[in-house]
Amino acid sequence: MRRDDVTKAGHSHKILVVDDEQDIVFTLKTILTEAGFSVDAFTNPSVAFEMFRPEKYELIILDIRMPGLNGFELYMKLLEQDNSIKVLFLTAVNEFSMYAKFKSSVSPMSGKRYYLQKPVDLTKLLQRVDDMVRL
């Protein structure tokens, strides 16, 4: 399944994926690339932050629970550089109390922030990604 949609510049939609689990990063990058997206993927959130450039990505997919810099912390740092970013959080976490200090900044917001629970249904993931990059 290839995507026919391209950005105004004629390139496929650019997505940043950050998850500390190598197999998840590989799977997401493969699925998204096969669907026609251009993907940069990292297992280290600090490296992803260093490589981030404002207005480069139409969507960022972040795991929440990562060592060193969790997904919420990374999102807040990226938001300081580009306040127009859209994020799709992936999480196996059912209890968000440990992230209470981020609640107002990371709560779901239509068109801007969504959550998908792990294990991720790849069909739902592709649909959500497609919906978010079209907004």
Closest CA to 12 of 27, 29, 33, 28: 33
CATH class, domain 14-134, is: alpha beta
Q: What pLDDT digit, counting tens, does each position of 53-97 carry?
A: 999 999 999 998 899 999 989 999 999 999 999 999 998 766 555
In the structure encoding, which two tokens stand for residue 33, read together?
């690339």
- Report yes or no: 41 and 20 within 8 Å, Cβ to Cβ: no
Distance CA 74, CA 46 (A): 8
- What does the DSSP 8-state code read for residue 12? P
pLDDT of residue 115: 83
Q: What pLDDT digit, counting tens, does each position of 5-43 carry?
A: 444 333 479 999 999 999 999 999 999 999 999 999 999
For the chain, give every domain's residue range.
Answer: 14-134
Min mean pLDDT across 52-56, 109-113, 129-133 is at: 109-113
AA identity, residue 36: G
Q: In angstroms, how far apart are the furthest CA atoms of the chain?
A: 43
Distance CA 48, CA 35 (A): 22
